[in-house]
Chain A
Amino acid sequence: MMAARIFYNLLQVIFVIAFAPLVEGVTTKLKENLQSKRGPSVFQPYRDLWKLFHKDEIISDYTSWVFRAAPYVAFAAPIFVALLIPVLTRYPLFFAFMGDMLGGGFILALGGFFATLAAVDTGNPYGPMGASRTRMVGFLAEPVFIVVFLTVSFVAGSTIPYIVQLRWVTPIANFFEPSHILLMSAFLMLILAEDGRIPVDSPSGAFELAMIERSKSLEYSGRGAALMKWAGAMKFLVLICIFLNVLVTPWGLAAGMEPLEVLIAIPLVLLKILGFVLVLVYIESSLAKLRLFRITEFLGAAFVISVVAMITRLSEI
């Protein structure tokens, strides 16, 4: 029993590591298709990673250990979060009580913090600019995160994601609670901001002056670049898993301990992620990127929505 729980926990990590580039590839492909372009193959991110891992790595002499350590920290952070959150199973696994949702948030923030430090560490002028912009988006997103987590844990009476996800569907009427719908919309806006998606940042932009998230890893080459790229894709997948499995649709997860059930959960979860990616691609293709100082309006709206969710919850409707 114990062995199975440890094994499934590791399986979650392998799931996140293995499918993160695929999710990114599918997102890119669908987005290009929606804009009447052919787009790269969905397996292109794997090829990119393979290519980058076989290239030489060049590190500036003027950088410190932070620059060298950052890709590993950024790569490790989503892995640790994947141990804590429900990715494939409905019941808590071996490491699930090691940390709650706040712990997961802190670990993800640690990865982001190191990537930011590494960007400042280089002499490249675009790195620090992107870093300070990321911090700006980060500190605007922080209050939304706090209010969302507070409300979610208040509703469920727990900060462990496995307990929270059951609360929304037992009974099913809970799913339609106003606070639930409002929390979902606030968290969706957070994902868009956190992952640098279109109203906030353009993920495929190649213009350094307009970059927020992407300019932080410009200085990396070879293995460092591959790890940063992979880490970004994994962080995205982990955020989607938190959003879908904890907040929106806790269905399709394995309920029992049978290995077959857990294996069936893999395509089901991937299907859910595909649905989410379709929504995301639609949002990204129908909106324009906001100007930098309009991001406060976007995240301000997210904050107000989350506060309203909290109020409707506290006043017990």
Chain B
Amino acid sequence: MSSSSMAVIFALDALAGAVFLLTTLGVVANRQVLASLQLFIAQSLLLACSAILLGIATNSLHLFAVAVITVATKTVLIPWVLRHTVSIEVYRTREIDRVLNIPSSLLIAAALVVLAYAVANPMLNAVHTPFAKINLPLGIAAMFLGVFTVVVRREAVPQLLGLLALENGVFFAGVAIVPDLPVIAELAAAVDVPVVALVVGMLTRRIHVRLGTTSVGRLVALRED
């Protein structure tokens, strides 16, 4: 592959990475459940874009498979599962239940992105693929932000979306470090993740039916007397 088209792919991957990070920040700071879901779909699409770009650059069929599986599970299957298991009221209401307010959680998110870059820097010495320079720090940042979403949100569905954003971050970093990741690993994850979504969706439905809310932050006692 010529170096000029390589540079273009590099630039496009960087662009996908930037928007990927923006959508992840959106998953952290968003106010509405439905918007969180849409941002997660956008994030998964960008992950697929990055995988395709890297697949073109490294001539790796595995990465195209990763892209296809990502699009199939994360933009089609999981939203479908979540829409059908969780009742529509959850999407209609505005989610305001969170531990920290939005500006302070955004500031912490910014600090986490800085931390991700600090953590990724020594790792980059060990990895010698050119795209790791973009994907590794952004993937680690998305992992941190996903964990942070689970911590800072108190509603079940946004917490789940944080978990899934974390998973996307792992793959975003992974496609750059290990271009020949066995498809079986990706397939396993592709089966796992919708099951997680299904379980959490069913659980949320139960909680919603029983308590009239999905704010799991209020569930403090193991059983009511």
Contact = CB atoms under 8 A, between A and B. Distances in A.
Q: Do A and B bind each other?
A: yes
Interface of A: 171, 173-179, 181-182, 185, 296-297, 300-301, 303-305, 307-308, 311-312, 315, 317
Contacts of A307: 110, 113
A171 B121 CA distance: 26
B109 A317 contact: no
A300 B18 contact: no
A176 B21 contact: no
Contact of B121 (A174, A176, A308, A315): A315
A178 to B, nearest CB: 3
Contacts of A174: 11
B18 to A, nearest CB: 3
Given A300-B106, A311-B114, A178 B121 contact: no
A312 B17 CA distance: 10
Contacts, number: 74
Nearest to A179: B18
B102 interface: yes
14 contacts: A173-B11, A174-B11, A176-B14, A177-B15, A178-B134, A181-B18, A301-B106, A308-B25, A308-B110, A308-B113, A312-B117, A315-B137, A317-B134, A317-B137
Given A182-B18, A311-B117, A301 B10 contact: no
Contacts of B109: 304
A192 B113 CA distance: 26
A317 B138 CA distance: 11
Q: From A178, A179, A181, name the one whose CB has the most chain B CB atoms within 10 angstroms.
A: A178
B178 interface: no
A176 B12 contact: yes
A312 B18 contact: yes
Contact of B8 (A173, A297, A300): A173
A304 B106 contact: yes
A contact face: mostly helix, strand, loop, or mixed: helix
A304 B110 contact: yes
A249 to B, nearest CB: 16
Contacts of A175: 11
Nearest to A307: B110
Contacts of A317: 14, 17, 133-134, 137
Contacts of B121: 315
Given A182-B22, A301-B102, A312-B21, 19 more contacts: A173-B8, A173-B10, A174-B11, A177-B18, A178-B15, A178-B21, A181-B15, A181-B18, A297-B31, A297-B101, A297-B102, A300-B102, A300-B103, A305-B22, A308-B110, A308-B113, A317-B14, A317-B17, A317-B133
Contacts of B18: 177-179, 181-182, 312
A181 B13 CA distance: 12
Nearest to B7: A173
A182 B26 CA distance: 13
Contact of A308 (B11, B21, B29, B102): B21
B107 interface: yes
B19 interface: yes
A185 B14 CA distance: 15
Interface in B5-46: 7-8, 10-12, 14-15, 17-19, 21-22, 25, 29, 31
A293 B189 CA distance: 41
B29 A297 contact: yes
A135 to B, nearest CB: 18
A304 B25 contact: yes
A247 to B, nearest CB: 15
Contacts of B101: 297
A209 B19 CA distance: 37
A301 B107 CA distance: 9
Nearest to B12: A176
A152 B137 CA distance: 21
B152 to A, nearest CB: 14
A305 B7 CA distance: 25
A81 B17 CA distance: 35
